[in-house]
């Protein structure tokens, strides 16, 4: 399933895709969580992050690849994420919708 | 089996293998970092808490996704819970208030109202259509039983049976909607 049908992203999906974009090649579970925490103050669990990333991958908005296993991770590998063209398009569409509605709110505030 | 192993099995049901491995790796890496900074006991406590939080979050999100795609299954689940509530209330009331515990007691149905509203509220938090489906199912069941049953029923019981279930569902839906609506 892709986001070509014009459906807007959920808040968490939107934030996580923005974090993946911001982090570039370093986007994996822990860095995404830290980025969201430092920028938004939201203390999300790893479970929340990974369930959302799994859903975004299923929608074709991100691709994932496994890194090399490391000893400090108990021999487990990191999973790195990259945004796809559909993902960029979905972020742009949601961002445009947010900007348009924010402008509408500003106009209403100015007029009142 | 240790509790965390048991929870870990639940996690592997909720996430694909690669995601599960990555999540466990992140937890281990963060635990090691915290052990160096705050000591092993603090790190172990953080690990347990974060592990349980992660599983709870994964279950909640999975339930929400399932509910969004199938409000009927959620309504049927809620209806089953109403059945469990009814049996539990009858058992409890039979010890403290035997008259009210009778199957055809109108007061028993009234006592069940907060429970029905709570079940509808929880269902409504997942999908706003679910409480209304639940109310419709309860109304259908009430009409069927009151019209088809050959047992004698008081007017108070029939009125309570027809209104309390659907009314509780509507009440739960309203609470869920009020909670969902931002200030």
Judgement on whether residues B113 and B169 belong to the same structural domain of the protein: yes
Report the first-to-last Cα separation within chain A, whole angstroms.
43
SS3 of chain A: the string is CCCCCCCCCCHHHHHHHHHHHHHHHHCEHHHHHHHHHHHHCCCCCHHHHHHHHHHHHHCCCEEEEECCCEHHHCCECCEEEEECHHHHHHHHHHHHHHHHHHHHHHHHHHHC
CA distance A92 to chain B (A): 24
Judgement on whether residues B128 and B166 belong to the same structural domain of the protein: yes
Judgement on whether residues B43 and B94 belong to the same structural domain of the protein: no
C-alpha B99/C-alpha B105 separation (Å) is 8
pLDDT band for B153, please (50, 70, 90 cuts). Answer: confident
pLDDT band for A78, please (50, 70, 90 cuts). Answer: very high
Judgement on whether residues B46 and B89 belong to the same structural domain of the protein: no
The domain boundary, picked from B66, B82, B97, lies at: B66
In sequence order, the 6+-apart residues with CB closer than 8 A to the CB of B13 are: none
Burial class (CB in 10 A: 0-12, 13-18, 19+), B52: middle
C-alpha A10/C-alpha A91 separation (Å) is 10
Which domain range does residue B173 map to? Answer: 70-180
- Compute the average pLDDT of residues B93-119: 86
Pairwise CB contact (< 8 Å): B15 & A48: no
pLDDT band for B180, please (50, 70, 90 cuts). Answer: low
Judgement on whether residues B74 and B159 belong to the same structural domain of the protein: yes
C-alpha A91/C-alpha A85 separation (Å) is 10
pLDDT band for A40, please (50, 70, 90 cuts). Answer: very high
Task: Give the fold, CATH level 3, of A11-111.
Answer: Arc Repressor Mutant, subunit A (1.10.10)
Mean pLDDT of chain A: 89
Nearest CA in chain A to B32: A72
Judgement on whether residues B52 and B92 belong to the same structural domain of the protein: no
* More confident call, B156 vs B182: B156
CA distance A72 to chain B (A): 5
Residues from A in contact with B at Cβ < 8 Å? 28-30, 33, 44-48, 50-55, 64, 66, 69-70, 72-74, 76-79
Residue with tokens 């049976």: B161
Residues from B in contact with A at Cβ < 8 Å? 11, 14-16, 18-19, 21-30, 32, 50, 53-58, 61-62, 65
B77: closest CA among B132, B119, B135?
B119
pLDDT of residue A3: 44
For residue A74, is pLDDT > 60?
Answer: yes
pLDDT of residue B181: 57
Structural contact between residues B173 and B131, judged by C-beta atoms closer than 8 angstroms: yes
For residue B14, is pLDDT > 80?
Answer: no
C-alpha A17/C-alpha A88 separation (Å) is 8
pLDDT band for B183, please (50, 70, 90 cuts). Answer: very low
* More confident call, B66 vs B119: B119
pLDDT of residue B2: 53
The domain boundary, picked from B66, B97, B112, lies at: B66
Q: Please write the tens of the pLDDT for every residue from B124-148.
A: 888 778 888 899 999 999 898 888 8
Judgement on whether residues B142 and B89 belong to the same structural domain of the protein: yes
The domain boundary, picked from B23, B46, B66, lies at: B66
Instruction: Mutate one of B22, B46, B57, B58 to test the A interface: name it (highest A CB count within 10 A).
Output: B22
Judgement on whether residues B105 and B33 belong to the same structural domain of the protein: no
- Alpha carbon of residue B50 to chain centroid: 23
Judgement on whether residues B52 and B118 belong to the same structural domain of the protein: no
Beta carbons within 10 angstroms of residue A103's beta carbon: 10
Q: Which residues of A touch B25 (CB under 8 A)?
A: 69-70, 73-74, 76-78
Judgement on whether residues B135 and B117 belong to the same structural domain of the protein: yes
Residue with tokens 């088809």: B148
C-alpha B89/C-alpha A5 separation (Å) is 48
Residue with tokens 């996690």: B11
Q: What value of ipTM does the predicted structure carry? A: 0.83
Backbone angles phi and psi of B168, in degrees to 5: -60, -40
B108: closest CA among B121, B96, B123?
B96
CA distance B158 to chain A (A): 45
- Compute the average pLDDT of residues B17-40: 91
Question: Both tokens of residue A12?
Answer: 């968490």
Q: Which residues of A touch B19 (CB under 8 A)?
A: 50, 53-54, 79
Number of structural domains chain B divides into: 2
Beta carbons within 10 angstroms of residue A94's beta carbon: 20
DSSP per-residue letters across A33-64: HHHHHHHH-----HHHHHHHHHHHHHTTSEEE
Q: Please write the tens of the pLDDT for every residue from B74-93.
A: 888 899 999 999 889 888 88
For residue A1, is pLDDT > 50?
Answer: no
HSE (CB half, 13 Å, CA atoms) of B139? 12
pLDDT of residue A4: 45
Judgement on whether residues B136 and B174 belong to the same structural domain of the protein: yes
Domain ranges of chain A: 11-111
Judgement on whether residues B145 and B122 belong to the same structural domain of the protein: yes
């Amino acid at each position: 399933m892709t986001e070509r049908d014009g459906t807007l992203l959920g808040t968490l999906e939107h934030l996580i895709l923005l974090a993946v974009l911001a982090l570039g090649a370093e986007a994996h579970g822990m860095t995404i969580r830290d980025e969201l925490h430092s920028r938004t103050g939201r203390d999300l669990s790893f479970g929340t992050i990974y369930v959302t990333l799994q859903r975004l991958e299923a929608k074709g908005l991100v691709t994932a690849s496994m890194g090399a296993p490391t000893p400090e991770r108990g021999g487990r590998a990191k999973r790195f994420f990259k945004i796809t063209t559909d993902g960029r398009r979905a972020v742009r569409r949601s961002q445009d919708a947010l900007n348009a509605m924010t402008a509408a709110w500003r106009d209403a505030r100015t007029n009142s | 089996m240790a509790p965390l192993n048991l929870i870990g099995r639940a996690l592997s049901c909720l996430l694909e293998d690669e995601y599960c491995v990555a999540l466990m790796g992140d937890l281990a890496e963060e635990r090691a970092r915290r052990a160096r900074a705050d000591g092993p006991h603090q790190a172990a406590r953080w690990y347990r808490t974060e592990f349980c939080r992660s599983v709870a979050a994964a279950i909640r999100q999975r339930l929400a996704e399932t509910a969004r795609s199938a409000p009927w299954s959620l309504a049927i689940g809620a209806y089953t819970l109403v059945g469990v509530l009814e049996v539990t209330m009858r058992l409890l009331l039979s010890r403290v208030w035997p008259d009210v515990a009778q199957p055809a007691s109108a007061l028993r149905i009234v006592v069940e109202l907060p429970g029905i509203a709570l079940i509808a509220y929880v269902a409504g938090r997942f999908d706003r259509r679910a409480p209304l489906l639940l109310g419709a199912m309860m109304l259908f069941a009430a009409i069927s039983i009151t019209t088809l049953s050959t047992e004698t029923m008081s007017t108070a019981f029939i009125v309570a049976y027809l209104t309390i279930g659907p009314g509780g569902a509507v009440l739960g839906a309203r609470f869920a909607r009020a909670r969902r609506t931002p200030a």
